[in-house]
Amino acid sequence: MPLDDRKKKILEAVINDYILTAEPIGSRTIAKRYNLGVSSATIRNEMADLEEMGYLEQPHTSAGRIPSDKGYRFYVNNILEHYLNESRDDEVETIDEVFAEIDDIVKKYARLLSTVTNHTIVVKMPRIDENTIKRIQILPVDANKLILLVMTESGIMKNYLISLKDNIDNNLFEFLNNLINNKMMGKRKREMDQTLRDEIKKESGSAIGIIDKITDTIINGLKQMDETDLYSEGISNILNFPEYKDLLKAKMFFDLIDNKDIMNSVLEPLDDSIDVTIGSESKFEEMWDLSIIKSTYKINGEVVGTFGIIGPTRMNYKRLINEINTMSNELSKVLSYIYQENKR
């Protein structure tokens, strides 16, 4: 049975007040705070209907009502339908980081989003299992130090500072760059085997010691990139919510964030739009008191990772959907800009 306009307004009023107060909401409160043009008794009857329809719950017989997961879902669907249909053309200031690592930039945005929202942020970092190497660049820092920049086809970048025992002749850099790129460009991580290393050694001549160190750094770096695929920021923000003042419940939340299997599954993007999972909609029982708002971030239109805002089901969905959508759009533009700059 569809909701009429009055029931919709009362449901929205209950949810908005419950988000602010974390206390069950009564009909008198709604009548006083919202000019709905009906009496407290009428609102009480409508709230009883909404409870019977599954949109509200009554935790105690004498208490007011709180939203159910079904109520939140109706509320969130209306927000998404309205918000995502709006045309947006946000201007973004790009970051001038010639050797910026994508994971460092993503972490900066996660910290910013956590600060702005006062929520816990969980991030699925870009993975490179199937990515091929796009370019490798070796640049001198001083006589015995060099920077190694590795970029994959999807735009993931890593840079390393390599210290050498002996000084390196500047004339060697062109040779090193050509040799490493000729052998490694277009290769996937799984192709970085001993055979490839032996091929590189054969052609390295007197630079064999340096080449060995560079090759090891690239291969080890690619492995590390896959090991750090999850990141979280602002975990302690959960303690600001009255629902998590109980230390045992808070510990369960901390354990959840540390559970890589669950977090990897939860952060798996269903598509490239905003996605909201509310309480019992999750397949994981550990998530039944929580909601997560997810948004992907991209490089040149290709999804490379996922951002998530996680917190109690009593969250300010309207504001948080706005914040994560804006942040993921800005991050995507910055990463695409840096990727294009480093292709030149």
Burial class of residue 77 in the structure, from the number of CB atoms within 10 Å of its CB (0-12 exposed, 13-18 middle, 19+ buried):
exposed
Under 8 Å between Cβ of 252 and 239: no
Which long-range contacts (C-beta less than 8 Å, at least 24 apart) are formed by 266-271? 266/122, 266/292, 266/308, 267/122, 267/123, 267/124, 267/230, 267/294, 267/306, 267/308, 268/124, 268/306, 269/124, 269/294, 269/296, 269/303, 269/306
Among 186, 206, 225, residue at a domain's last position: 225
Half-sphere exposure of 304 (CA within 13 A, CB side): 29
pLDDT of residue 89: 46
Same domain (yes/no): 41, 147: no
pLDDT of residue 195: 83
pLDDT of residue 222: 60
The answer as to whether 42 is a domain residue is yes
Strand-by-strand arrangement of the 157-163 sheet: 133-142, 145-152, 157-163
The Cα 293–Cα 311 span in angstroms is: 9
Same domain (yes/no): 180, 208: yes
Same domain (yes/no): 112, 139: no
Per the DSSP assignment, residues forming a β-bridge with 42 are none
pLDDT of residue 114: 96
Residue with tokens 């019977």: 52
Under 8 Å between Cβ of 68 and 57: yes
Q: What is the CATH number of the domain that holds 25?
A: 1.10.10.10
Quote the domain boundaries for residue 285: 102-126+229-343
Same domain (yes/no): 170, 273: no
pLDDT of residue 93: 43
Q: Which residues contact 66 (CB under 8 A, 6 or more apart)?
A: 14, 18, 24, 25, 56, 57, 58, 59
The answer as to whether 93 is a domain residue is no
Under 8 Å between Cβ of 131 and 156: yes
Residue with tokens 């049975």: 1
In the chain, the number of structural domains is 3
Q: What is the CATH number of the domain that holds 120?
A: 3.30.450.40
pLDDT of residue 131: 63
From first to last of its 344 residues, what are the pLDDT tens digits of the chain?
689 999 999 999 999 999 999 999 999 999 999 989 999 999 999 999 999 999 999 987 667 899 999 999 999 998 887 665 554 444 444 444 434 467 788 899 999 999 999 999 999 987 655 567 888 888 878 777 878 787 777 666 677 777 777 777 777 778 888 888 888 888 776 777 778 878 888 888 777 777 777 777 766 766 665 555 789 999 999 999 999 988 899 999 999 999 999 999 999 877 767 999 999 999 999 999 999 999 999 887 888 889 999 999 999 999 999 999 999 999 998 888 776 655 55
Under 8 Å between Cβ of 306 and 123: yes
Among 208, 225, 242, residue at a domain's last position: 225
The Cα 95–Cα 105 span in angstroms is: 9
What does R_g of the chain's alpha carbons equal in angstroms? 26
Nearest to 127 by CA among 259, 221, 223, 225: 225
pLDDT of residue 98: 39
Among 196, 225, 254, residue at a domain's last position: 225
- DSSP secondary structure of 195-253: HHHHHHHHTTGGGHHHHHHHHHHHHHHHHHHHH--EEEE-GGGGGGSGGG-SHHHHHHH
pLDDT of residue 172: 77
The Cα 260–Cα 266 span in angstroms is: 10
Same domain (yes/no): 198, 219: yes
